[in-house]
């Protein structure tokens, strides 16, 4: 009994063992390959066979269903073109808190200032719009005939 007990005690490792047991790499690789083979094999066995891909047949006494009729979706007509902006639209200087807006020679805050238009001044548009430095500018003419650009946030329709 002492021999068997002595043999048993030599196999028991201490909790404070100096190193972990090493991994037996050939066994780990073989286990991984076997796991992959099992997954691939089960997937292959579960996949349908060419003979199984046929559509289900209707019972013998049932008339065949007609094929669905594909009706093309009508394409709506394009919307009519929008009328061009009127040649002369009336605007007024607004939203300046009484300070007025600058009429400038070109669009942009750095352009030469022609004059300051008091709030409420009525203007006529004479051209298009341009965006400069992220701000929309409108080409306008005042009652005295001075033509220039005004920042759109300060021009409201009459």
For residue 47, being part of any structural domain is answered with no
Q: Is residue 55 part of a domain?
A: no
Give the residue among 125, 118, 89 at the shortest CA–CA distance from 102.
118
Question: Which ranges of 25-89 would DSSP assign to H, the alpha helix?
Answer: 25-46
Number of DSSP helices (H) and strands (E) in the chain, helices first: 2, 7
Question: Above 90 in pLDDT, residue 150?
Answer: yes
Report if residue 105 sits inside a domain: yes
56: in domain: no
Q: Is the pLDDT of residue 62 over 90?
A: no
Q: Is residue 77 part of a domain?
A: no
* pLDDT tens-digit map of 18-40: 666 678 889 999 999 999 999 99
> What is the residue range of 133's domain?
90-157
Q: Name the phi and psi angles at 104, rounded to 5.
A: -115, 155
Residue 62 belongs to some domain of the structure? no
Confidence of residue 1 (pLDDT cuts 50, 70, 90): very low
Is 5's pLDDT higher than 80?
A: no
Confidence of residue 48 (pLDDT cuts 50, 70, 90): confident
Q: Specify if 25 maps to a domain.
A: no
- Residue-averaged pLDDT of the chain: 83
142 part of a folded domain = yes
Q: Is 39 exposed, middle or buried (0-12, 13-18, 19+ CB in 10 A)?
A: exposed
Read off the pLDDT of residues 117-129 as tens digits, 9 standing for 90 and up. Answer: 999 999 999 988 9
The model's pLDDT over 64-111, given as tens digits with 9 standing for 90+, comes to 778 888 888 888 888 887 666 555 789 999 999 999 999 999 999 999
Rounded to two decimals, the pTM is 0.46
- Tell me how far apart the alpha carbons of residues 139 and 128 are, in angstroms, rounded to a whole number: 6
**Considering just the CA atoms, what is the radius of gyration of the chain in Å?**
44
Which CATH number characterizes residue 139's domain?
A: 2.30.30.40
Confidence of residue 113 (pLDDT cuts 50, 70, 90): very high
pLDDT at 133 > cutoff 90? no
Number of structural domains found in the chain: 1
């Amino acid at each position: 009994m002492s021999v068997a007990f002595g043999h048993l005690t030599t196999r028991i490792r201490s909790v404070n063992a100096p190193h972990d047991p090493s991994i037996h790499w050939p066994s780990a690789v073989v286990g991984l390959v076997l796991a992959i083979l099992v997954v691939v094999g089960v997937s292959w066995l579960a996949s349908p066979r060419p003979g199984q891909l046929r559509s289900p047949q209707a019972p013998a006494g049932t008339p065949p269903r007609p094929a669905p009729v594909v009706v093309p979706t009508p394409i709506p007509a394009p919307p009519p073109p929008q009328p061009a902006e009127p040649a002369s639209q009336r605007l007024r200087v607004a939203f300046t808190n009484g300070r007025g807006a600058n009429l400038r020679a070109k669009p942009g805050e750095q352009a030469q200032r022609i004059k300051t238009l008091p709030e409420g001044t009525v203007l006529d548009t004479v051209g298009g719009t341009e965006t400069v430095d992220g701000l929309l500018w409108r080409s306008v003419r005042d009652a005295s005939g001075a033509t220039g650009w005004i920042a759109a946030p300060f021009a409201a329709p009459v």
